[in-house]
Amino acid sequence: MQEESQMQDDRILSQLQIALQISEQQKNDYMMQICQLQQEAIVRAKQSKNEQYLFELQKSANLQNDLILTRDSCDQLRKQLEEQLIQNALLQDSFDQQHQKLSCANEQILTMQQQLEQQLISYKQLTEANKFLHERSIENQLRNQKQEEEEPEPEKQENQIVEPEKPRMLRKQLKQALNQCDLLTQQLEKQWMDNYALKNAHQLQISKLHTEIEKLQKHDH
């Protein structure tokens, strides 16, 4: 798009130069014709007095008027072309800015997608670990329950130190680990939702930028 705009600017400049050259050549030709006619009118007026002298002078005046009109037309065309070049330059600058914004937005989206993919992998790993811990916890509960049902309770003696039950401690640790996994899972889900909303916002901004660029391109053509 930028190369096409540059080619259009070069074409306009070339047309402007040609128009100026034609205008300058026409002006020189008209001036030479006026000088010749005026010299002929003077010579004829000296040789014989008649209305031909007035005719030649009128013809010279008409050529001078044509020259003035041609010069004014060329000046007006040059101004229009200069204004068009200025507008094209402004449009090109605006397009470059929009293109830069679009490139930055695309880079942000790519970075965000990579982060989301990495978080999704971590989320899957954490879910699998949570599932594994949950299954192990159920197995331990069933095994401990079965042992409690099969083993008779030992008789307590006076001043006997009761040792902590290892299965109970293990269940407590597993429960704490499961709670931590649930908390991390909730945090990852919230982060995933926030990133998803941010991605949608960036996509909406990119859609608006595309619309603005299309408007600029239509206006440029």
Could you tell me if residue 202 is inside a domain?
Answer: yes
Spatial separation of the C-alpha atoms in residues 101 and 106, rounded to whole Å: 9
Could you tell me if residue 152 is inside a domain?
Answer: no
The one-digit pLDDT tens for each residue of the chain (221 residues) are: 556 666 766 666 566 667 656 666 776 676 677 667 666 765 665 566 656 665 666 676 677 667 767 877 887 888 888 888 888 888 888 888 888 888 888 888 788 878 878 877 877 787 787 777 777 777 777 877 777 776 655 554 444 444 455 666 766 777 777 777 778 777 777 777 877 777 777 778 777 777 777 777 676 55
Is there a contact between 178 and 130 (Cβ–Cβ < 8 Å)? yes
Task: State the residue range of the domain holding 89.
Answer: 2-145+166-220
Phi, psi values for residue 193, rounded to 5°: -65, -40
Helix axes 52-150, 2-47, angle to 10 degrees: 170
Could you tell me if residue 156 is inside a domain?
Answer: no
Could you tell me if residue 151 is inside a domain?
Answer: no
pTM of the model: 0.37
Is there a contact between 31 and 67 (Cβ–Cβ < 8 Å)? yes
Q: What is the 3-state secondary structure (H, E, C) of 166-178?
A: HHHHHHHHHHHHH
In 3D space, the residue among 108, 98, 104 whose CA is nearest the CA of residue 200 turns out to be: 108
